[in-house]
Amino acid sequence: MSSAPARDNTINNPVIPGFHPDPSICRAGEDYYLACSSFEYYPGVPIFHSRDLVHWTQIGNALDRPSQLSLPPDSTSSGGLYAPTLRHHDGRFWLVITNVSGDGNLLFTATDPAGPWSDPVRLPGVHGIDPDLAWDDEGNCWCTVAGVSQIRIDPHTGETFGEPRRLWSGASGAKAPEAPHLYRIGEYWYLLIAEGGTERCHGVSIARSHTPNGPFEPCPTNPILTHRGTDHPIQNTGHGDLVQGPDSSWWMVFLGVRPRGGTPGWHVLGRETFLAPVTWTDGWPVVGEVSTAMAPPPWPLQEPAPVPARDDFELSELAPNWISLRSRPVENCMTKERSGWLSLRARGASLDDSEVVFVGRRQQHLSCRARALVDPAEGRGGLALRLDEQHHYEIEATDSEVRVIARIGPLRSVVASHPGTGAPVVLRIEAAVTRQVTDARQGPDTVSLGVEDADGAFLELAALDGRYLSTEVAGGFTGRVIGLYAAEGTVHFDWFDYEPLEN
């Protein structure tokens, strides 16, 4: 999903809204490509393309087949795939990432970033998360990981050489030095890292050396990006990556969140991808103003690619923005069993189950509406707003009943019900952002769940506090995903649509 141009010659930030954390970017000619973490969702690692750094189109997922991505059924939410690095080198695209749910560090290559990507080259000698790749003038490939340490590897075989070498790990006493990226820029090698933890104290710092192995000299104005201790509307800023434009300008993509409501502020969309300009002073990068409405780059903006709000499930394959939990067996997710319908065959009994059959898309707007036409005659299922197995709201249909279910931590409750008619029914979920905070405990939004009648009128069955589906309550690293599921038998979905509402 790309952002649309705002008024008065500004652009909307985040440039990739919704749960798209840990961005890594590279440029090939006039084209930019970007990858994000995907955690427990399958297919893994969404890949985006842009020509102006502002409007991004998802062109695929790098890990889209079982031979590339193994996520065991019992792997935890916020496990799975962490922090990719995407690079273009020697005519190929390189992607390195950590699967914390079992496979460790993995390296993939492609000639076309839209895919197909190779099967993984395993890196058993690389220990640590957030791997980075950089090549020196002699052709050596250096892999740097959170901590921060570095080892030379053969990227074709996964072989390592020597022992890991400890590098600069950021400010003294700062926790979680991670997300390292190493660059050769001019006469220096620069080591960019995140530190302070990915919560409110997150930040980006940098050091430089005359060799890729150090010793590294820290920037005297570190951190070069942070919003810690401020009331800025964008918080948790960190995990950055640098890219140079064709006009020699420099830019940084990084993650941030948009908390809403009272204290402590709750963010529900996950960590999103933001953009900021970068200038250089005395050989050090200076990150420009970070804003939700920023000045565009100094080149013509491309027309944003339309993202269909509605999917009628008429194609044999699902669009790349659809994601599932841990796997997507073809026998459980079908577009050919009933022509023009998505058919989901249940495997888990509810969204509490890690093996539930679920097909969703990221919530990308603070206020939005999702609707689906569901035929539950052969089973039980519906429309859900999910953060993890212990935090979700859903409106579920059988041929005799429609009910709203809330799971909040250890508590699970049917909060409302309505008679079914035995016919297909339109289910609807709306998120409406809190406009005015009158209580420090007031949540970020209200989630309304209900059904539509034949004339499209909305019958609200429940209105629930959105803070219970936030990272500050649930923990973890992901954001809300809204979509379709089956909990018993086979459930058919004729269409699904998603639209932003005015904030």
Measured distance CA(238)–CA(271) in Å, rounded: 10
Judge contact between 351 and 386, C-beta under 8 A.
yes
CA separation for the pair 326, 348 (Å, rounded): 13
Neighbour tally for 102: CB within 10 Å? 11
The residues, ordered by sequence, that sit 6+ positions from 261 with a Cβ below 8 Å of its Cβ are: 434, 437, 442, 443, 444, 445, 467
Cα–Cα distance for residue pair 161/152, rounded to 1 Å = 5
Pairing of strands 217-218, 458-465: unpaired
The DSSP string of 260-318 is: BSSSS-B--S-SEEEEEEEEEETTEEEE----SEEPPPSSPPPPPPP--SEE---SSS-
Collapsing DSSP to helix, strand or coil, 473 comes out as helix
Contact 475, 469 (CB under 8 A): no
Q: Are 143 and 131 in contact (CB under 8 A)?
A: yes
Are 32 and 23 in contact by the 8 Å Cβ rule? The answer is no
Find out whether 365 and 482 touch, Cβ atoms under 8 Å: no
- Torsion angle of C-alpha atoms 331, 333, 335, 336, degrees rounded to 10: 10
Give the closest residue to 178 by CA, choosing from 239, 254, 133, 135. Answer: 239
3-state SS, residue 196: coil
- Exposure string of 258-291, with b = 16+ CB inside 10 Å and e = fewer, is bbbbbeebbbbbbbbbbbbbbeeeeebbebeebb
- Contact criterion met (CB below 8 Å) for 340 and 424: no
Q: Any idea which residues carry the catalytic annotation?
A: 22, 178
Strand 342-345 to strand 121-122: parallel, antiparallel, or no bridges (unpaired)? unpaired
Quick one: 340 exposed, middle or buried, by C-beta within 10 A (0-12, 13-18, 19+)?
exposed
